[in-house]
Chain A
């Protein structure tokens, strides 16, 4: 049973891609690491045809406006349904998703997860599931701060290689928090009021000489 990992990051600079980092850590400790391909640097139609030759497709993607980036949807449009009866000697083909996002709570992903489930049905694929990780936007900037997260991603990959499933316990750990608790909300509001939440943004805005323009409304 063979698996292809598709990196759904549309980033122009792949070095700044958190999905790439996730993909590399997912396969890092596998005995036989899966092949990784980047959707952005391939023709969608050809890549869809190529990916259909694998038993399992796992798409690792950033969350853009509560769903997949447009580039990934353009690829999904090219995926053809598998034949309805066993498409591989080991059973039906399988598709799964790993989402990483900027917002902290993974409830933000709940608008696309049911779609992915139904997409698998439309494609006659078995749905492997969707793994969600929030608060991941800074991984490429501060990889050391996310060591634990990346270790979990590697463990997810090892478990997947053994079982061909997403390990429920690891998925649970990665998905926390699903919603912001009242304590977290109070804390975040205080952090916001004292201006701490925007320090990172303001630092880069200043470095780019754009701080004074940060609230500009250029289109009115």
Chain B
């Protein structure tokens, strides 16, 4: 099973075929140029994630370890989500009763998303979990697990 790990500096006891550590990597923010959709289809104008893209779309599983920041994903992780748009086509489909991006690739990895940090308002955790579930549903991953890091092996 090919595994990609995305972290924000944490070491997790899992073997990976590829690791993207957002604490070390300098990932450019998406600048909304749409080059990946209408100039160089599937390729971002920035090249800093090309290796990641290859490993992500050929992986069976992506393990993501997120640092909750002000009750949400960090800016760095949010930038990574934004920069994953080249993996999808510009077209919109409506088969689920709502607007959805159309997949560019035949399959996408299952997601194990673990988070660490605190949520101050009582429903903050649910807002966070709902958001992550929605992101990877929109990204066409079939199996999505979102849990606190402490429950990783449960």
Say yes or no: B73 contacts A73, CB within 8 Å: yes
**Interface digits, A111-144 against B, CB 8 Å rule (1 contact, 0 not)?**
1101100110110000000000000000000000
* Given A192-B94, A210-B40, A220-B54, A73:B75 Cβ within 8 A: yes
Say yes or no: B121 contacts A76, CB within 8 Å: no
* Given A70-B78, A204-B38, A220:B94 Cβ within 8 A: no
Say yes or no: A114 contacts B57, CB within 8 Å: no
Q: Within 8 Å CB of B70, what residues of A?
A: 76-77, 79, 119, 122
Most chain B CB inside 10 Å of its own CB: which residue of A198, A205, A216, A217: A217
Say yes or no: A192 contacts B93, CB within 8 Å: yes
Most chain B CB inside 10 Å of its own CB: which residue of A68, A77, A180: A77
Question: How many of chain B's residues have a CB under 8 angstroms from any CB in A?
Answer: 58
Say yes or no: A10 contacts B29, CB within 8 Å: yes
Say yes or no: A12 contacts B58, CB within 8 Å: no
CB distance from A181 to the nearest CB of B (A): 10
From B37, B84, B127, give the contact of A114 (CB < 8 A). B127
Say yes or no: A111 contacts B91, CB within 8 Å: no
Q: Within 8 Å CB of B84, what residues of A?
A: 65
Say yes or no: A77 contacts B74, CB within 8 Å: yes
Asked whether any CB of chain A lies closer than 8 Å to the CB of B116, the reply is: no
Asked whether any CB of chain B lies closer than 8 Å to the CB of A104, the reply is: yes
* Given A69-B82, A70-B76, A192-B94, A215:B104 Cβ within 8 A: yes
Q: How far is the CA of A70 from the CA of B80 in the complex (A)?
A: 8
Q: Within 8 Å CB of B92, what residues of A?
A: 103, 197
CB distance from A84 to the nearest CB of B (A): 13
Asked whether any CB of chain B lies closer than 8 Å to the CB of A148, the reply is: no
Q: Within 8 Å CB of B90, what residues of A?
A: 201
The SS class assigned to the B binding surface is mixed
Say yes or no: B127 contacts A115, CB within 8 Å: yes
Say yes or no: A215 contacts B33, CB within 8 Å: no
Asked whether any CB of chain B lies closer than 8 Å to the CB of A57, the reply is: no
Q: What is the interface of chain B, defined by CB distance below 8 A to chain A?
A: 29-33, 37-43, 50, 53-54, 56-58, 69-82, 84-85, 87, 89-95, 97-99, 104-105, 120-121, 123-124, 127-128, 130-131, 134-135, 138
Q: What is the interface of chain A, defined by CB distance below 8 A to chain B?
A: 9-13, 16-17, 62, 64-77, 79, 103-105, 107-108, 111-112, 114-115, 118-119, 121-122, 179-180, 185, 188-189, 192, 197-198, 201, 204-205, 208, 210, 213-220
- Provide a sorted-by-A list of 17 A–B residue pairs whose CB atoms are within 8 angstroms: A64-B30, A65-B138, A66-B135, A69-B30, A69-B82, A75-B75, A76-B70, A77-B74, A105-B98, A121-B120, A180-B97, A185-B94, A205-B38, A210-B40, A216-B41, A216-B42, A219-B57
